[in-house]
Amino acid sequence: MGCNASTLAKIHNVDELILETGFSSSHICHLYNRFHSLDKDDKGLLNRDDFQNISELAVNPLGDRIINNFFPDRVDLIDFNSFARTLARFRPVENSPKKEPDSPEPINSRANKLKFAFQLYDQDKDGKISNNELLQVLRLMLGVQVTEEQLDNITDRTIQEADLDGDNAISFEEFKKSLEKVDVETVLSIRFL
Amino acid sequence: MHSPALFQIVVLVTSAFFAAWTADFPGSDASVISEILEPVGIAVESSQSSAPPLHRQYGIDTGKIASAAARAPVNDITDPIVIPTSPPGNQHRETEPVSFEIVKWNWEHAHGPFLVAVWIMVASLAKILFHLSSKVTTVVPESCLLILLGLGLGGIVLAATNRTEYQLDPKMFFLFLLPPIVLDSGYFMPSRLFFDNIGTILMYAVVGTLWNSSATGLALWGIKQAGLMDEKVDAGLMDFLLFGSLISAVDPVAVLAVFEEVHVNETLFIIVFGESLLNDAVTVVLYKVFNTFVEMGSDKVRAVDYVKGVASFFVVSLGGTVVGLVFAFILALTTRFTKRARIIEPLFVFLLVYLSYLTAEIASLSSILAMTFCGLCCKKYVEANISQKSRTTVKYTMKTMASIAETIIFMFLGISAVDTSMWTWDSALVLFTLVFVFVFRAVGVILQTWVLNRFRLCPLDRIDQVMMSYGGLRGAVAFALVILLDKSKVKAKDYFVATTITVVFFTVMFQGLTIKPLVKWLKVKRSNQHKPTLNEELHERAFDHILAAVEDIAGHHGYHHWRDKWEHFDKKYLSQLLMRKSAYRIKDEIWDVYQKLNIRDAMSFVDQGGHVLSSAKLSLPSLPSRTSFSETSVTNLLRENGSGVCLDLQVIDTVRSGKDKEDTVMHHVLAGNLYKPRKRYQANYSRHFISADEQEWQDREVIQRNMRCRLESFRSTKHSVYQSKGKSRHKKSQKKHRSSDVNGEVPNGKPKRNISWQDTVPVVMTMDSEEEEEDNSEAEKEEDEGITFVARAADEVLLERKPSSESPSTRNYQLLSTALWCTQSSHKKTLSYCTLGVCQSPFLLPPSPTCAEKELPWKGDQGDLPACVSSETTKIVPIDLQQAWNQSISSLESLPSPPVSEAQQLQCRTLPPARLEERGAPAALARPLQDPRFQFPERAAAAGRSSEEDSTECIQQQELRPLMSPDKQPRPGPSTGSAGARWPVQFNRAARVSLLKNLVTASPYKGSGQTDL
């Protein structure tokens, strides 16, 4: 795949990136190639259209939202480093965590993985999943098979289940709590080449 | 293993069922055959047993009496190894009847099935016995106990008859005992987990088994060459390889039996268990290849044979899988069309999966693979298609059969081991085999894990590897295979048998015993089996989408990518093809979980209703954040399911036999004393339908309504508590709005509690079955909201009803209601029962499903509520239930048309038990009349103002309790439409009987006088 030092050299701050994301240089290389194959007009940056051109994403019900998660703070273009950092959240967690108290939280930590998922729901970025936001996601995921009424019920029930402080919304803490029995480290990881 | 006759029978049965299903053809033939089929199978085992000679002379020609279909396969599959114990001549001795004998002893006639039944009973009793002491079973695995029991029984039989009568017969094992276990494990295999780990499982199953068998075989051969083994062990390289192939396969039965009790984490379990299932292909091929080589003589084996062996592996494994998939497809497609023949749905599942097994056996493909994949793949569609009752039937039948098969296998393993005639001991062989089996397993696991961990997302750590090595249990498959060896070709068979038995016993007993302490000692990650929560289900679904998208973005077409593709394909084509339209429509896992949770909450709520009130605390199992509940595994859940909190709604309504009796009584009373209306009287017996959907639906609906009643009353009580305490609770701003509320909302200003009836359709007082009771998060609703009886003519409900409206049970109720109508009209003039014509004014009051269920009433503390113990269910029910009832009655009064007296009449009819038996409390009944629109919470708040009232209410409560029990209500039949009167009468069943007796047999005046009006 043409992975060599010259490719790496083209990447800005590559060492820092490797340190931060935990990707190996071959991972970075692979991702860089992918980045450029997505980057249709070689601008060195990706915009939303580039993502939307991925044909498989078109059938993903949450595709748009996931793409949005790649663009922090209403930025319309992302560079490779930002791209890699987002993907790095899905790196599997190493089995031997370095127990240094002052070391920064790794980018692929459980909290970061969950944060990504949380942001899918939390569209208005107020740190809470409201009834309406959850309903929207449910609607996307369940499609036409379930009636609005059922969706309503499920939404209510879900929020009620997770809602600990009674504000009729799921905060990130509650979100984490509701998934504490799930092996998020494994479930939200993919194997990069 | 080949059984053409058996196969034909199964095909026959299947075709019979197809016929029954297509043409509503009386299923008698089919059921006869199926009844025959079962004894046939197990008769194999018992055909070896000898009849006591005393009785033999009385034997009547058995063959002629028993159906030909049953006997033929028995003869066919009787194993040659079995020593024929009874001389054939004795069997059919024709005795000239000298005179008429009053009693004949027909032992020969039924001894086969009899012995089978006895054996099964012994096994089952043993199981009960073991579980009497929970201490024993927590330490010693059941399989060990069963083997020990088998050893004991075998010893007794041996001592008594000086001959081993019974042993594990390979044919019986492969054709009848193994399939239930494989079916159970395949069908209930967590498919997601299985496919998530499919790579690892395949690796262990294929490479691991190959490695194990070749290494063991070669090493044993090396020991033999080194001269460490007895000279008499006459075996060459091929023999040892053959032995290695059969001894190296991890056995699914043993693994399941042991691992089920040790709750290791799911990944570990699925890997070991999946391996034990999938290695069948390798075992079968290796066994066959080496067996052929041994029989050919190793010097004649040419290179091309090895190639053939390799090719055979692919054919056997892939062929088995394909057979399984084809049958899964057929099965799914078949169940799509069984709507009219629900009763045979479960049989289809069993038959077709079993057919897949037999087909694979016939084609000498891997039958275990076929069955596993058939069960695994059909499940999703089958479960969606078949009815809830069928699902329960399938589940329990499968579990029962698997459990019995497992019990018998282990018991017979023990019994077989007693048979010293067939084994010869060689310490060196046994010892070295044990060592090699264990060592090579460990080595294989470590090597493979090292390779696998480079690819696995979550690597298997050391502890996992230890467990995997230690969990390599050998079992009955190895034993059956070694028994199948041909003694004339494999000279050392006796040695191999002895060694196999030892290895099996060692692994099952020793490793089985020590695995639990080992798990504890190593702190193996246990399974964190917990009840699914909606959040988890929902978020995990989102995670799947995220991962698929991330893989797409990263340009790496990995597992998630393909799974996403598959799910897309499945949704778009497969599900549409294989699922019923209705099932497909509502099929969604999140929705499923939601419903399950609701049902569970409802059930647990009902179950601990008393405790709720007494301790003012309700633990909701599905809300772990609020309460802690002991975590149990699925196994335990299944075991305890019968006794503990019943999760399955359908189980509930199968457990009332008393009601059926009352039903019968009532039916007789009615049938004997009532006018028989035209067109009403039809035979209501059908072999095809045990219970119609109608009744099922009714039951569910009634339970739901009861739940709703209770919830409402609880909630209202809580309101009152809060009100009286002056607490202002946080109100949810967001009100619920339902766009799909077909019937619209009750207009404001009117009390929302209505009993509404409908004239056009036979749906009276129907709750929306889709609505659940406590699904809403709104903490508070309007204060005046009480019970709502909703008559909702939901489309689905109607759809469900119409086809089944002619079913017998419905007819019962139609009969009943018609009868009531007759009674009613006969008393019309004198008693002004025509007041029920109230209902003639068609109250199509728009029901509002929204107002019925708003709140989890147990959220928060609830103060001390007065409670009454109902004698019927020994559950404590709040007094407010009574209030709610009164309230709902009172809402009748608020309806415009009926005058008060009429309403009273109606009330009398609606409340027969209360009125009939409790005449001393007219005030309590009169009050609702005075206050037709009373506000419930206020009343509840003021509930304590009169202790006398309370006590009467208490009594009333007791009387009314049966009303709230999952009771069926009479449904007006269409014929009553002539009078136009519909009455949604709710009766206590017993009271209904007595009332009807009074009405029918006694004078009408007397009957009315009892209502003290």
- A window 116-155, beta carbon within 8 A of B: 116-117, 120-121, 131, 137-138, 141-142, 145-150, 152-154
Residues B233 and B202 sit within 8 Å (Cβ to Cβ): no
- A window 79-118, beta carbon within 8 A of B: 87, 90, 92, 95, 116-117
Mean pLDDT is lowest, of A137-146, B267-276, B772-781, for: B772-781
Say whether B527 sits in a helix, a strand or coil.
coil
- B window 718-737, beta carbon within 8 A of A: 730, 732, 734, 736
Name the residue with higher pLDDT: B664 or B90.
B664
Mean pLDDT is lowest, of B149-158, B517-526, B664-673, for: B664-673
Mean pLDDT computed over B175-184:
90
CA–CA gap between residue B346 and residue B390 (Å, rounded): 6
Instruction: Please give the pLDDT value at position B268.
Output: 87
| Contact A172/B at CB under 8 A | no
Name the residue with higher pLDDT: B164 or B917.
B164
Which pLDDT tens digit goes with each residue over B206-235?
999 999 989 999 998 888 888 877 777 777
Distance from CA of A37 to the nearest CA of B (A): 9
Looking at residue B842, its amino acid is P
Question: Cβ separation of A190 and B552 shorter than 8 Å?
Answer: no
Instruction: Please give the pLDDT value at position B962.
Output: 43
| Contact B594/A at CB under 8 A | yes
Residues B465 and B445 sit within 8 Å (Cβ to Cβ): yes
Q: What tokens appear for B943 in the block?
A: 């509930």
The C-alpha angle with vertex B22 and arms to B21 and B24, in degrees rounded to 5, equals 65
Which pLDDT tens digit goes with each residue over B803-824?
444 444 444 444 444 444 444 4
Question: Cβ separation of B535 and A152 shorter than 8 Å?
Answer: no
User: Which residues in chain A have their CB less than 8 angstroms from residue B554's CB?
Assistant: 31, 34, 87, 190, 192
Cβ atoms within 10 A of the Cβ of B591, count? Answer: 21
Quote the ipTM score. 0.89
Mean pLDDT is lowest, of A74-78, B312-316, B508-512, B617-621, for: B617-621
In 3D, which of B70, B354, B41, B73 has the Cα closest to residue B176? Answer: B41
Distance from CA of B737 to the nearest CA of A (A): 9
Say whether B426 sits in a helix, a strand or coil.
coil
A15-88 and A107-193 have identical folds: yes
Residues B662 and B993 sit within 8 Å (Cβ to Cβ): yes
Which pLDDT tens digit goes with each residue over B355-372?
999 999 999 888 999 999
- The closest CB to that of A145, out of B551, B565, B587, belongs to B587
Which residue matches tokens 């696995």?
B456
Name the residue with higher pLDDT: B549 or B165.
B549
CA–CA gap between residue A178 and residue A180 (Å, rounded): 6
CA–CA gap between residue B485 and residue B469 (Å, rounded): 28
Size of interface A-B (CB pairs under 8 A): 185
Q: What tokens appear for B572 in the block?
A: 């778009």
Residue A142: closest C-alpha in chain B: B588
Q: What is the pairing mode between strands B876-878 and B867-869?
A: antiparallel
Question: Cβ separation of B585 and A142 shorter than 8 Å?
Answer: no
Q: Which residues does residue A128 pair with via DSSP β-bridges, in sequence order? A: A171
The helix (run of H) or strand (run of E) holding residue B923 is helix B922-930
| Among B449, B535, B772, the residue to mutate for chain A (most A Cβ within 10 A) | B535
The C-alpha angle with vertex B120 and arms to B118 and B124, in degrees rounded to 5, equals 115
- The closest CB to that of A190, out of B547, B734, B741, belongs to B547
Mean pLDDT computed over B772-798:
39
Which pLDDT tens digit goes with each residue over B625-638?
333 333 333 334 44
| Among B543, B743, B774, the residue to mutate for chain A (most A Cβ within 10 A) | B543
SS (H, E, C) B744-775: CCCCCCCCCCCECCCCCCCCCCCCCCCCCCCC
Mention every residue, 6+ apart, whose C-beta is less than 8 A from residue B756: B789, B790, B791, B843, B844, B845, B847
Instruction: Please give the pLDDT value at position B706.
Output: 67
Mention every residue, 6+ apart, whose C-beta is less than 8 A from residue B137: B130, B131, B145, B261
Residue B987 banded pLDDT, cuts 50, 70, 90:
very low
Residue B78 banded pLDDT, cuts 50, 70, 90:
very low
CA–CA gap between residue B428 and residue B439 (Å, rounded): 16
Looking at residue A139, its amino acid is R
| Among A112, A160, A167, the residue to mutate for chain B (most B Cβ within 10 A) | A160
The C-alpha angle with vertex A120 and arms to A119 and A121, in degrees rounded to 5, equals 90
Instruction: Please give the pLDDT value at position B944.
Output: 41
CATH number of A15-88: 1.10.238.10
User: Which residues in chain B have their CB less than 8 angstroms from residue A31's CB?
Assistant: 554
Looking at residue B242, its amino acid is L
Instruction: Please give the pLDDT value at position B29.
Output: 42
Architecture per CATH, A107-193: Orthogonal Bundle (1.10)
Question: Cβ separation of B549 and A190 shorter than 8 Å?
Answer: no
Question: Cβ separation of A188 and B543 shorter than 8 Å?
Answer: yes
CA–CA gap between residue B620 and residue B640 (Å, rounded): 18
Cα pseudo-dihedral B873, B875, B876, B877, rounded to 10: -60
Instruction: Please give the pLDDT value at position B663.
Output: 63
Question: Cβ separation of A154 and B741 shorter than 8 Å?
Answer: no
| C-alpha radius of gyration, chain B, whole number | 34
- The closest CB to that of B739, out of A62, A141, A149, belongs to A149
- The closest CB to that of A117, out of B536, B543, B623, belongs to B543
| Contact A56/B at CB under 8 A | yes
User: Which residues in chain B have their CB less than 8 angstroms from residue A185's CB?
Assistant: 458
| Contact B781/A at CB under 8 A | no
pLDDT at residue A117 is higher than 80: yes
Question: Cβ separation of A153 and B558 shorter than 8 Å?
Answer: no
- The closest CB to that of B540, out of A66, A120, A187, belongs to A187
Which residue matches tokens 């509404």?
B756
Residue B25 banded pLDDT, cuts 50, 70, 90:
very low
Distance from CA of B570 to the nearest CA of A (A): 14
- The closest CB to that of A87, out of B455, B550, B597, belongs to B550
Q: What is the pairing mode between strands A169-171 and A128-130?
A: antiparallel
Instruction: Please give the pLDDT value at position B793.
Output: 40
Mention every residue, 6+ apart, whose C-beta is less than 8 A from residue B596: B532, B647
Cβ atoms within 10 A of the Cβ of B240, count? Answer: 27
User: Which residues in chain A have their CB less than 8 angstroms from residue B856's CB?
Assistant: 160
* For chain A, domain boundaries: 15-88, 107-193
- The closest CB to that of B739, out of A148, A159, A190, belongs to A148
Which pLDDT tens digit goes with each residue over A98-110?
545 555 667 777 7
Residue B856: closest C-alpha in chain A: A160
Question: Cβ separation of B588 and A62 shorter than 8 Å?
Answer: no
Residues A61 and A140 sit within 8 Å (Cβ to Cβ): yes
User: Which residues in chain A have their CB less than 8 angstroms from residue B464's CB?
Assistant: none
Question: What is the rounded average pLDDT for all residues in chain A?
Answer: 77
Q: What tokens appear for B954 in the block?
A: 């208490």
Question: What is the rounded average pLDDT for all residues in chain B?
Answer: 65
| Contact A3/B at CB under 8 A | no
Question: Cβ separation of B461 and A95 shorter than 8 Å?
Answer: yes
Question: Cβ separation of A190 and B554 shorter than 8 Å?
Answer: yes
Q: What tokens appear for B99 in the block?
A: 């005179």
Which residue matches tokens 């009408």?
B1004
Tell me which DSSP letter residue A130 carries: E
In 3D, which of B776, B729, B725 has the Cα closest to residue B940? Answer: B725
User: Which residues in chain B have their CB less than 8 angstroms from residue A138's CB?
Assistant: 538, 590
Tell me which DSSP letter residue B878 carries: E
Question: Cβ separation of A150 and B591 shorter than 8 Å?
Answer: yes
- The closest CB to that of A179, out of B539, B559, B586, belongs to B539
Which pLDDT tens digit goes with each residue over B556-573?
777 777 888 888 888 788
Residue B569: closest C-alpha in chain A: A59
The C-alpha angle with vertex B762 and arms to B756 and B763, in degrees rounded to 5, equals 45
Name the residue with higher pLDDT: A119 or B774.
A119
CA–CA gap between residue A112 and residue A110 (Å, rounded): 5
In 3D, which of B8, B3, B13 has the Cα closest to residue B364? Answer: B3
Mention every residue, 6+ apart, whose C-beta is less than 8 A from residue B727: none
Question: Cβ separation of A182 and B588 shorter than 8 Å?
Answer: no
Question: Cβ separation of A190 and B564 shorter than 8 Å?
Answer: no
Q: The pTM is what?
A: 0.60
Mention every residue, 6+ apart, whose C-beta is less than 8 A from residue B828: B834
Question: Cβ separation of B457 and A186 shorter than 8 Å?
Answer: yes
Largest CA distance in chain A: 57
| Contact A51/B at CB under 8 A | yes
Question: Cβ separation of A161 and B461 shorter than 8 Å?
Answer: no
- A window 8-27, beta carbon within 8 A of B: none
Looking at residue A79, its amino acid is D
Which residue matches tokens 């404590």?
B876
Residue A28: closest C-alpha in chain B: B554
Question: Cβ separation of B772 and A34 shorter than 8 Å?
Answer: no
Which pLDDT tens digit goes with each residue over B184-206?
988 988 888 888 888 889 999 99
Instruction: Please give the pLDDT value at position A164.
Output: 81
Question: Cβ separation of B771 and A34 shorter than 8 Å?
Answer: no
Cβ atoms within 10 A of the Cβ of B566, count? Answer: 12
